[in-house]
Amino acid sequence: MPARILDGLRIRDEIFAELKTEIARLHDQGIRPGLAAVLVGENPASQIYVKNKIAACEQLGMASWLHTPPANITTEYILIQLPLPSQIDAKRVLEAVDPAKDVDGFHPVSMGKLVSNRPGLVACTPAGCMEILRRNQIPVEGANAVVVGRSDIVGKPMALLLLHSNATVTICHSKTRDIAGVIRGADILVAAIGKAGYVQADWIKPGAAVIDVGTNKVSDPAEAAKLLRNFPERLEKFRAKGNVLVGDVHPDAVQVAGALSPVPGGAGPMTITMLMSNTVKAARLRRASAAAVARS
């Protein structure tokens, strides 16, 4: 039986409805949450992501601002939409952000709070993956969870969130021995390595829950034919369009997994969703902090 599809678009709509209620409450208190983005350079993926951020703000009734300094700007003059041009020290830039406004959850203070399991602003993609699991009633406590990828913005925070939910967590990466064998032990698999179809279907434990974070554009006909050999409709669309989005998990996994987030439409929509959630949360926390100072 094919896997149950973990629909990120449905969950996005649920969370947006909840956020609209909270934003309206903040409006009644004279507060309008807003998101500012500073975009440097001509990275097409970043341009699309920022455009989608602004559209989400408009949909929710939040303010938004976009600043576009010249691409030759130096580290001393910038805040931040990753990735940044090579001449800029991204770590210095991240550290310059006020942690209270770090709605991406990348600041060392934000990461430190996550490590110590203290309330804070959590990296958006991992937080979205946890929402997919929670809102689909997939049990995490006691599960064997495997995270493929160890990046600071997905793999590491994902592993910590799973650990804080009482899963037994293993992180796999390029140096992992017998990665297929490790993955086969996973009740929950989160793939975030950035390689199209890397995790093979026969690596997956039958019935496992699979969250596919990868979004890889495939334009090579031979690669597309290999990945989509059992999906003639998707292959036909590839031939018409010339490219297709494929996750880090081979599409054939749908026949093995118990539950699977699709690409596109699974983990992807949750990144901006949780960015909006973090923005509203930051506004609420700053309001509470200001009120506490006024009372003291």
Report domain extents, the chain: 32-98, 124-269
In degrees rounded to 5, what are phi and psi of residue 210? -120, 120
DSSP character string of 143-189: -EEEEE---TTTHHHHHHHHHHTT-EEEEE-TT-TTHHHHHTT-SEE
Homologous superfamily in CATH for domain 124-269:
NAD(P)-binding Rossmann-like Domain (3.40.50.720)
Is 53 marked active-site?
Answer: yes
Instruction: Output the CA torsion 185→181→191→186 (10° steps).
Output: 0
The CATH fold of domain 32-98: Rossmann fold (3.40.50)
Is 104 marked active-site?
Answer: yes
Name the token pair of 178. 């017998």
Per annotation, catalytic residue among 102, 104, 187, 212 = 104
Per annotation, catalytic residue among 81, 156, 187, 205 = 81
pLDDT, residue 172, reads 97
**Domain 32-98 identical in fold to domain 124-269:** yes
For 134, the enclosing helix (H) or strand (E) is helix 124-135
Sequential pLDDT tens for the chain (296 residues): 899 999 999 999 999 999 999 999 998 988 889 888 877 777 777 777 888 888 999 999 999 888 776 666 443 335 355 566 666 666 676 677 788 888 989 888 999 999 999 999 999 999 999 999 999 999 999 999 999 999 999 999 999 999 999 999 999 999 999 999 999 999 999 999 999 999 999 999 999 999 999 999 999 999 999 999 999 999 999 999 999 999 999 999 999 999 999 999 999 999 999 999 999 999 888 776 655 555 66
Is 220 marked active-site?
Answer: no
- Residues 6+ away with beta carbon under 8 Å from 173: 148, 149, 150, 155, 193
Neighbours of 215 (CB within 10 A): 18
Per annotation, catalytic residue among 53, 156, 205, 281 = 53
pTM (2 decimals)?
0.88
